[in-house]
Amino acid sequence: MGGLFNLKTIKNNLFIIAILIILTFILTKVGMEHPILTTIIFFLLLILYYFFYKLFKTVNISQKYLKSVFDTQNNIIIVTNGKFLTDVNRSFFDFFDFKSLKEFRDKYDCICELFDNINGEKVIDKKVNGVNWVELIFSHPQIEHKVLIKLNNREYFFKVNAKKMDFDKDRQNLVVFTDITELQSYQNHLEDKVNIEIEKRIRQEQLLIQQSKMAAMGEMIGAIAHQWQQPLNGLALMIQDIEEAYKSDDINEIYIKSSVSDSMKQIDFMSNTINQFRNFFRPNKKKITFDVLDAIKDAIFIISSQLKNNRIKLSLSEDSFKIEGFANEFKQVILNIISNSKDAIISNQKSIKEIDIKIYKTDNLSVIKIRDYGGGISIDKIDKIFEPYFTTKGINGTGIGLYISKIIIEDSMGGELSFYNTNDGVEFKIEFENREKEKI
């Protein structure tokens, strides 16, 4: 029982000791005739006092232990009703540089007066639509709540967690502020880096698209040259024939009308060719619903002269379907694939000079297959075929045609572009989900 009767213990338990003395006095007065009974009761009261002492001591130790835990936390911890602070831990004083809670209360009514705001950051303000800031946390438990506090020209971000504590009618809230300033700075830096990389990728894709257009323009000029070769030869022969006819005195009205008519046919053909190419390479700004078969025929017209000159046969099924997207971009995809097939057949000198295009629909998909007999793609190059700047044509290729084609089909039109080797060539497959069925 060491310490039971020391001065500090007696001072801390004066109220209980006073009650015990009063009870003892009453018992002594009443029980003068029974001193033994009085003595027994007195000792019982001493034992009761001892148990009270042990109870208070345990409670006191628990309070000191909790206060020690409270103060050793690195996080700022406060007890508040949402406005006034009733208790805080040591980290609170260290951070705000106050020596006592009274000193803080003399300057601020609520810790929320220190909350700040910043553009682009979702943080708790002093009041949101009149709602107390602690109640705001409880009303949105699924959100990670943060506060911004500016101190000594620095910004500090804290993650805020709160728990209700009900003591009879005294409603208090335990609120923990976890410093996430470094994490927030890292996240902001990471977001900036992601935005920069996204901008770089967009610029790179725009550059690739521009390069693809330039490459397509070069192919267009070559295709125009092929398309114009025959009518230009025809016009040259007609001009030479005029000279011969003049020498032989065969020029008359009938001859002039015939020559003019034949010349205009050749010129009209050349003019129509230019219009076809102009429409083909005109950029689309809006998505439209277009017929796939018509678009493929337009693409075939652009390259038909080159196919004819190299004796390559192209077969096209007459089935079709409609799709929403950018028609000219889709034509560019078809032209890229057919052009690659043409080049493979020519460079590999295959005996079967054919390109087959099939259009069909299943229950779920609308499909276009383009197959050639150009020898296929070697195993070591299959995984790279859709990468930018990868080409199988050496110095004659740009390496962006199939890359851009995949972007157009998959990113712009929501389809899928794939390929696989066949026994004697390669087959490209373009697939779109049947939108009509989804709407039903």
Digit-coded pLDDT (tens) for 36-88: 666 676 677 667 666 766 666 666 666 665 666 666 778 888 888 777 888 88
Q: Strand 313-316 and strand 354-361: pairing?
A: parallel
The owner of tokens 């002269």 is 305
User: How many whole angstroms from its chain centre is CA 114?
Assistant: 34
Write the pLDDT tens digit of every residue in 242-265: 888 888 888 888 888 888 888 888
pTM, two decimal places: 0.47
- pLDDT confidence bin for 290, thresholds 50/70/90: very high
Please give the distance of CA 22 from its chain centroid, rounded to a whole number: 78
Residue 417 · residue 333 · CB < 8 Å:
yes
Tell which residue, 229, 222, 369, has the closest CA to residue 302. Answer: 222
For residue 377, give the nearest of 431, 401, 341 by alpha carbon: 341
CB neighbours (10 Å) of residue 174?
A: 15
Pick the residue with more confidence: 233 or 105? 105
pLDDT at 6 over 50: no
Residue appearing with tokens 């803080």: 104
Q: Is the pLDDT of residue 213 over 90?
A: no
Whether residue 333 contacts residue 408, with contact meaning beta carbons closer than 8 Å, is answered with: yes
Alpha helices (H) in 251-326, listed in sequence order: 253-280, 292-309
Q: Using one digit for the tens of pLDDT, what is the confidence trace for 10-29?
A: 455 555 566 666 666 665 55
CB 45 within 8 A of CB 20: yes
Task: Dump pLDDT digits (tens) for 170-195.
Answer: 678 888 998 888 887 777 778 778 88
| Tokens read off for 54 | 């042990």
Closest C-alpha among 316, 305, 366, 343 to residue 425? 343
Instruction: Count other Cβ atoms within 10 Å, centred on residue 430.
Output: 25
Q: Which amino acid is at 124?
A: I
Tokens of 271: 């003019």
- For residue 248, give the amino acid letter: S
Give me the chain's average pLDDT, please: 77
Question: Edge-to-edge strand order for the sheet containing 76-80?
Answer: 85-88, 76-80, 170-179, 154-167, 145-151, 115-116
d(CA 397, CA 333): 16
Among 318, 423, 329, 336, residue whose Cα is nearest residue 386: 336
Mutual angle of helices 327-347 and 292-309, in 10-degree steps: 30
pLDDT of residue 8 exceeding 90, the answer is no
Beta bridge partners, 314, equal 355
